[in-house]
Amino acid sequence: MNWRVDRLKLPLSNPFGISRETSETSETVVVELTHEGTTGVGAVTPSAYYDESAESVAETLPTLCETVDRIGDPHAQQRIERELDEQAADQPAARMTLSIAVHDLAARQLDLPLYRQWGLDPDAVPPTTYTVGIDSPERMAEKARKAADSGFGHLKVKLGTDDDRARLDAVRDAAPDVEIRVDANAAWTVQEAIDKADWLADAGVTMLEQPVEADDIDSLRRVTDATAIPVAADESCVTASDVPRVADACDIVNAKLVKCGGIRPATRLLNAADAHGLDSMLGCMVESNASIAAAVHLAPLVDYLDLDGALLLASDPYDGVPLDGDVFDLTAVTAGTGARRRSSDGGPD
């Protein structure tokens, strides 16, 4: 088995702001695995919030690729996951990259798209949100208007500033007919979140994501109890083992492959959420189609979708699952995840 690891710095179309930082590039690591003439691709945009970086992932991947090579069979996914967990227990982003590449490779060898390999229904894919990052109210309104005009019926609006209300009002005025979900990325105190929930509800907000600090589950519970807006846990719910402790403190959990370590761990988190009576969402970072595409194949399992990361890039060297309006068209994928490297002239290889 041969492999190739690349580090990419992908420019964003606009600076992307959340409550704790603003980014202008996506630091991405891509791995391509080739076995018996077939290549699978996986990628990750690690987050410093979870103590990983493009540098740490790129340094770890050769050793993990050697493990996959030694096992020698991309269909031996349970064994691959177990051994990578043993080698890189605290590096879920590194494991995610290979998880995607191995699943893509195995499905391509079978000449099946992932969703068909798993027996999932492509018609059950929820519409994805388009995320409006923190900016001036005027710029946020402009982004919201463009997204609505492009066919997005659901916006995720990042808040956590000293003037959240002006920003949300600007978005609502610019896109009066869209559904708005709000994500504070753990920026508020419990009392701030409860106070703001009143006018968020008046503005028609339909989801409030991670309003308080990640480890403050009691405050998360208090916010959930105080508002009729469904509350989602993101930073508070990293892996399946976190679901029981947040189950009575929120309504929705947000699964991200980068947090939990790949496709199989994400599936376990979604199953745990279902077992605890919670709704579920699939989320992402601002990242390439080389990683977004894999998550899209899990979309029939969830109630909400937030997989717009590649849409926020100025350029992406990979094509992914095509969008029909704001819904991903899994039926267009012929094999694997659907991620394909673009040629130098802008088309797929």
Assign domain 2-113 to its CATH superfamily.
Enolase-like, N-terminal domain (3.30.390.10)
Report whether pLDDT(234) > 90: yes
Q: What mean pLDDT value characterizes the chain?
A: 96
**Rounded mean pLDDT, 309-317:** 96
Report whether pLDDT(349) > 70: no
**Range in 228-232, 249-253, 316-320, 345-349 the model is least confident about:** 345-349
Reported as a single tens digit per residue, the pLDDT across 163-211 is: 999 999 999 999 999 999 999 999 999 999 999 999 999 999 999 999 9
Residue range(s) in the chain whose domain bears CATH number 3.30.390.10 = 2-113
With bands split at pLDDT 50, 70 and 90, how would you rate the model's confidence at 345?
very low
Question: What pLDDT score was predicted for residue 23?
Answer: 93
Is the domain spanning 117-341 CATH 3.20.20.120? The answer is: yes
Question: What pLDDT score was predicted for residue 346?
Answer: 43
Question: What pLDDT score was predicted for residue 344?
Answer: 58
Report whether pLDDT(268) > 90: yes
Report whether pLDDT(348) > 70: no
Cβ pair 205, 180 in contact under 8 A: yes
φ and ψ at residue 180, rounded to 5 degrees: -115, 130
Reported as a single tens digit per residue, the pLDDT across 60-76 is: 999 999 999 999 999 99
Question: What pLDDT score was predicted for residue 21?
Answer: 87
Question: What pLDDT score was predicted for residue 196?
Answer: 97
**Rounded mean pLDDT, 262-278:** 98
Question: What pLDDT score was predicted for residue 190?
Answer: 98
> What predicted TM-score, i.e. pTM, was given to this entire model?
0.95
**Rounded mean pLDDT, 272-278:** 98
The torsion region of residue 135 among left (phi > 0), alpha (psi -120 to 50) and beta comes to: beta
Report whether pLDDT(150) > 50: yes
Residue range(s) in the chain whose domain bears CATH number 3.20.20.120 = 117-341
For the CA atoms of 291, 297, 301, 307, what is the dihedral angle to 10 degrees?
A: 40
Report whether pLDDT(221) > 80: yes
Question: What pLDDT score was predicted for residue 169?
Answer: 97
Reported as a single tens digit per residue, the pLDDT across 77-120 is: 999 999 999 999 999 999 999 999 999 999 999 999 999 999 99
CA distance 330 to 334: 9
Report whether pLDDT(343) > 90: no
Percentage above 70 pLDDT, the chain: 98
